Amino acid sequence: MREIALPPQALPVPPDREGGGLYSWITSLDHKQIGMMYLMATFAFFIIGGAEALLMRTQLAVPNNTFLSPEAYNQLFTMHGTTMIFLVVMPMLIGFATYVVPLQVGARDIAYPRMNALSLWLLVFGGLLLYFSYLAGGAPNAGWFSYAPLSERPYTTTTGVDYWILGLLATGIGTIAAAINLIVTILTLRAPGMRMTRLPLFTWMVLVNSVLILCALPVLNASLVMLLIDRQLNAHFFAPQGGGSAILWEHFFWAFGHPEVYIMVLPAFGIISEVIPVFSRKAIFGYEFVAASTGAIAFLSLAVWGHHMFTVGFGRGGDLFFAVSSMLIAIPTGVKVLNWCATLWGGAIRFTTSMLFAVAFLAMFTIGGITGVSFAAVPIDWQVEDSYYVVAHMHYVLFGGSAFAIFAGLYYWFPKMTGRLLSEGWGKWHFWLTFVGFNLTFMIQHVLGMMGMPRRVFTYPDLPDWGRFNMISTAGAFVLGFSVLPFLWNVFASLRAGRPAGDNPWNAWTLEWATSSPPPEHNFDLVPPVRGRRPLWDLAHPDRPDPAPARLYGLGGRGPAPRPGDGAPEVSGPRLGMLCFIGAEAIFFVMLILAYVYYHSAAHTGVVAARVLDAGRAGINTVFLIASSATLWLGGKSLERRRGGALVAWLAATIVLGALFLVGQGREWLTLVQANVTVSRDLFGTTFFTLTGFHGLHVLLGLCLLAMLFGLAIARRFQGPTSAAIEAVALYWHFVDAVWIGIYSLIYLWALVG
Amino acid sequence: MTAWRFVEATWPWEPSVVLGCGALGLGYLAAVRGRLGGRTGSFLAGVLMLLFALDSPLDTLADTYLSSAHMAQHLLLLLVVPPLLLAGTPAFLVEPAWRSARVRALAQTLGRPVVAWTLGVGTIWVWHIPSLFNATLASGGVHLIEHGSFLVTGVIFWWAILAPLQEVRLAPVPAMLYLLAAALASSVLGILLTFARAGLYPAYLRPADVLGIAPLIRAGWGLSPETDQQIGGLLMWIPGGLVYLSAMLGVLMRWYRWDAEEAAAGAASAPDAPVPAPPPVSSGELHAR
């Protein structure tokens, strides 16, 4: 490795913390330890979710079985699905990203270390809260997608669904925080020379995936909140008997649910895009196309949720549009698969365990993808909806796809994380048992689904072949269950006495392999120069670096003049982080607004908004809030002129005006409640109080932030001319004001006009 | 009356539209002095699309009979014509105007991403408010203002992505987010229109059947008012979204191409360039990272 000259003003690296000990792990802010804890926690949940599956398969092994009661079975399939999706696949991929992305971009740590720890512990506690439901009256039993009205109070009297909601809210907030963290890391903390077009594909896919998380998870959070309000406060969002719409729950949930499945698969694509080139000893074929198709998949995934609802009755027009857009998603996915195959072609393939899982991924995911495209044909969907064909499809893409990719990633990065190599012998046992068990379990379920076996049934009648096929599936499931044991043994034995891995056991080319295994706390002593997509290749082969990428056509002529300063970040970290958060919150509010609009435009039952709302009084409130934005802006100006006293005064004015707004809102609510307009009375009450209530909570949060700034300003901590903290809080406060202007126009002005 | 007879019989050949498009096309050809190429093709395609949108059976259907046809017309005016016209405008046509400071100031105010985005997306939302939309169907003048506003705000919106002068365009990542946000915003409107109750725009419930094609539309094509409104919403949502997606992909591929050229130029000139110094930490921060 060539020596890199340190710049003259380089400072000595501070000594690392004293390591070791459970306490240092629990309080760790190091992205590597947090990433490993993600992997450990999610693997534990994987074992539990797998046990739930084995119990279900035991029940289904023979017809008319009595191993489990229907109630127990319902709880198991709900918990199995919820666990695998929210506590295993999604957080495991986030855990990989947390560990690998800062290393791959050459950063010292992730952008917000404390928020990173928060994400991890929200996952752990959200999962524990969800599982506590077993002890507290029964686990949720309405399916992992908890359709209304089954999940509403009259039909589910136990508290299981409430635990489901609260557990998912906790993990959902953690996931959004992780996405913000990753976006800011990738956009602002890259090593010099690592332009966005030189990003390793895993990092690029994590970036696109994080944007998708910001689009989709707030939709889930809003839906969960609305369901919780229905259940706990007797509201009527999704309860048909109160005028609500159960179909609306389906729309809201699948508007989250479909992007969610792509969130679970995009980082897996990233892992495969790292593993296949390294073990074929070839750079990936068609980098630009793999990157562009990732963006296309993410975008299209936001537009296809209707294909989960073909049996709801959209009408031909709606069905047709969703069918076409669902078929379109196959194109970018196919582009990726073909590029991976082209990478393999002509390469010097080395079948390590990681590569075995990656190649198996290609085949299994393609099978799952093809059955998925078959669902886009509406008549086929009508036949196989809610049958075992769906179960087979989803497991091929989620297990044969995401889980296989996760295993490939585990074998690939385990040496980096621990400094020890995993045994290839045990690894191959693990792979083959998994592969055989997986296919034995799920391939036959395609046939069962076609034969008409419905899903989520605790038993089935003794129809010809059903018993035999289910028995095969159960046998496969147990093989799959046992396949975990060689892996666990492998990990245990390697941690104790595995061969030392060295910096770069696979001779790979991305930056995480340019430091020791495991990396020191500060990640890199020296970051290699980045002049291409494979920095370590360029370093090892200075005579033949990676060729410049192929010429591509695109919109519009020559580019701008070359900029000096390779890939320097143009946007500040705190500002970007706050903008991401605002984006997520904006989508959250859009969902609540959509609910209001939906019910307001339907036939009016109950309260007519115009009769009870006082637009004038609310208008005065609005003036207070807008004025508070102005005073905060003036505070920012006085900071620019380094006038600390004026800053304190303007901050105080902002807080007072914000508090006046909240008082005004409280009075508005009191008036309405006294006129017997409550959350539970009718749809207007439900939607009005939810929307304005959440806005009020955001104002309250803003006031707390402003109070902190006020305290800091009094303590003369702001030197000026700029402050990232004030700028970030100002962005948030202006956003909250903008949302109120929208809400005011929508609710009060519309009531006056319409 | 069959569909083909309808197409034959109802091409309006509105003089103002034909003359206007003709003038635009010929004026452009004169300005580029007959230099033909891909760019010229793009501009002329834009002019043709404009002609088709404003002066074809689509326009006839849109004005009276079908809200989905009206939606298709608007989508052409907002999402197809402005990008084609902008992509077809070479830099040297704009540079003389750009030298004037006032023009530059105006362009910079209107061209700020937030402003351009709000104008582009807001125009779409505002014109779908039922009272305003119905006014456009009732009055030709309001309709003209509406179409004019679509063209103007369309150009303002797409200026950020496709301005003839390279340095004025948004950087790739902000450009992709700009387009994504616009796609989401117009999708939400499309969703609302798809699932709204029928009769949002009452003029389409029972159109005045001057041409005698109502049976063709209702029975032959199977478009009841409910289906028609639903298709209108779906057109805005999905094909509209696809236009934004294509633009995002175009921006991405353009970015990779520029970057490759830049990298090749940089590597050719300075293969042993030292690693640039890390960016300085700004003072006045509460926490230095």
Q: How far is it, in rounded angstroms, from Cα A727 to Cα A747?
A: 30
Tell me whether residue A676 is exposed, middle or buried, using C-beta atoms within 10 angstroms of its C-beta: 0 to 12, 13 to 18, 19 or more.
exposed
In a 13 Å sphere around the CA of A331, the CA atoms on its Cβ side amount to 10
Question: Average pLDDT over chain B, rounded to whole?
Answer: 81
Tell me, rounded to whole angstroms, the distance of Cα A283 from its chain centroid: 29
Q: Which DSSP symbol is given to B202?
A: G
How confident is the model over A672-701, as pLDDT tens digits? 888 888 888 888 888 999 999 999 999 999
CB contact under 8 A, A562 and B249: no
- All residues of chain A having their beta carbon less than 8 Å from the beta carbon of residue B277 are 7, 192
Q: How far is it, in rounded angstroms, from Cα A705 to Cα A725?
A: 10
* pLDDT confidence bin for B288, thresholds 50/70/90: very low
| Beta-carbon count within 10 A of A295 CB | 23
pLDDT at residue A489, rounded to an integer: 96
Contact map slice: B 84-103 vs A, CB within 8 A: 87, 91
Q: What is the DSSP string of A213-242?
A: HHHHHHHHHHHHHHHHHHHHH---SS-GGG
Q: How far is it, in rounded angstroms, from Cα A422 to Cα A500?
A: 10
pLDDT at residue A609, rounded to an integer: 65
B272 touches chain A (CB under 8 A): no
pLDDT at residue A403, rounded to an integer: 97
Q: Collect the ranges in chain A with pLDDT lower than 50.
A: 1, 552-567
- All residues of chain A having their beta carbon less than 8 Å from the beta carbon of residue B195 are 598
* pLDDT confidence bin for B269, thresholds 50/70/90: low
For chain A, count helices (H), then strands (E). 25, 0
| Beta-carbon count within 10 A of A13 CB | 12
Q: How far is it, in rounded angstroms, from Cα A68 to Cα A64?
A: 11
Q: How many CB pairs under 8 A join A and B?
A: 158
pLDDT at residue B7, rounded to an integer: 73
How confident is the model over B110-151, as pLDDT tens digits? 888 888 998 999 999 888 888 888 888 888 888 889 999 999
Q: How far is A164 from chain B (nearest CA, A)?
A: 28
A565 touches chain B (CB under 8 A): yes
pLDDT at residue A723, rounded to an integer: 87
Task: Return the SS3 of B289.
Answer: coil
Show the tokens assigned to A697: 């909570």
B237 touches chain A (CB under 8 A): yes
Q: How far is it, in rounded angstroms, from Cα A626 to Cα A480?
A: 60
Q: Rg of the Cα trace of chain B?
A: 23
A29 touches chain B (CB under 8 A): no
A420: which strand partners? A500
Give, to the nearest 10 degrees, the angle between helix A316-344 and helix A353-376.
160
Show the tokens assigned to A727: 């700028």
Q: Is the pLDDT of residue B238 over 80?
A: yes
How confident is the model over B165-209, as pLDDT tens digits? 888 888 888 888 899 889 988 888 888 888 887 778 888 888 777
Q: Do residues B238 and A325 lie in contact, with contact meaning Cβ atoms separated by under 8 Å?
A: yes
Which residues, 6+ apart, have CB-to-CB distance to A451 below 8 Å?
Answer: A463, A465, A466
Show the tokens assigned to B167: 């340095």
Show the tokens assigned to A273: 């895009």
Q: How far is it, in rounded angstroms, from Cα A262 to Cα B85?
A: 36
Q: Do residues A713 and A646 lie in contact, with contact meaning Cβ atoms separated by under 8 Å?
A: no
**Tokens 């046939």 — which residue?**
A447
**Tokens 């049958």 — which residue?**
A387
A11 touches chain B (CB under 8 A): no
Q: How far is B58 from chain A (nearest CA, A)?
A: 19
Q: Is the pLDDT of residue B1 over 90?
A: no
Tell me whether residue A330 is exposed, middle or buried, using C-beta atoms within 10 angstroms of its C-beta: 0 to 12, 13 to 18, 19 or more.
middle
Q: Is the ipTM of this complex over 0.85?
A: no
Q: Do residues B63 and B140 lie in contact, with contact meaning Cβ atoms separated by under 8 Å?
A: no
Four-point Cα dihedral A465, A467, A470, A476, nearest 10: -100
A420 backbone dihedrals φ, ψ, rounded to 5°: -125, 145
Q: How far is it, in rounded angstroms, from Cα B287 to Cα A705?
A: 17
Q: How far is it, in rounded angstroms, from Cα A614 to Cα A622?
A: 12
Question: What does each C-alpha distance from A300 to A166, A197, A297, B245 come to in angstroms?
Answer: 30, 22, 5, 8
Q: Which DSSP symbol is given to B65?
A: I
Show the tokens assigned to B279: 């960016």
Q: How far is it, in rounded angstroms, from Cα A316 to Cα A262?
A: 26
Q: Which DSSP symbol is given to B275?
A: P
| Beta-carbon count within 10 A of A67 CB | 15
Which residues, 6+ apart, have CB-to-CB distance to A524 below 8 Å?
Answer: A106, A108, A511, A514, A515
pLDDT at residue A384, rounded to an integer: 93
- All residues of chain A having their beta carbon less than 8 Å from the beta carbon of residue B261 are 559
pLDDT at residue A211, rounded to an integer: 95
pTM: 0.90
In a 13 Å sphere around the CA of B167, the CA atoms on its Cβ side amount to 8
B245 touches chain A (CB under 8 A): yes
A12 touches chain B (CB under 8 A): no
How confident is the model over B241-266, as pLDDT tens digits? 889 988 998 888 888 877 777 766 66
Show the tokens assigned to A680: 């539970």
- All residues of chain B having their beta carbon less than 8 Å from the beta carbon of residue A724 are 285-286
pLDDT at residue A166, rounded to an integer: 96
Q: Do residues B63 and B12 lie in contact, with contact meaning Cβ atoms separated by under 8 Å?
A: no
B263 touches chain A (CB under 8 A): yes
Q: Do residues A517 and A501 lie in contact, with contact meaning Cβ atoms separated by under 8 Å?
A: yes
Q: How far is A649 from chain B (nearest CA, A)?
A: 20
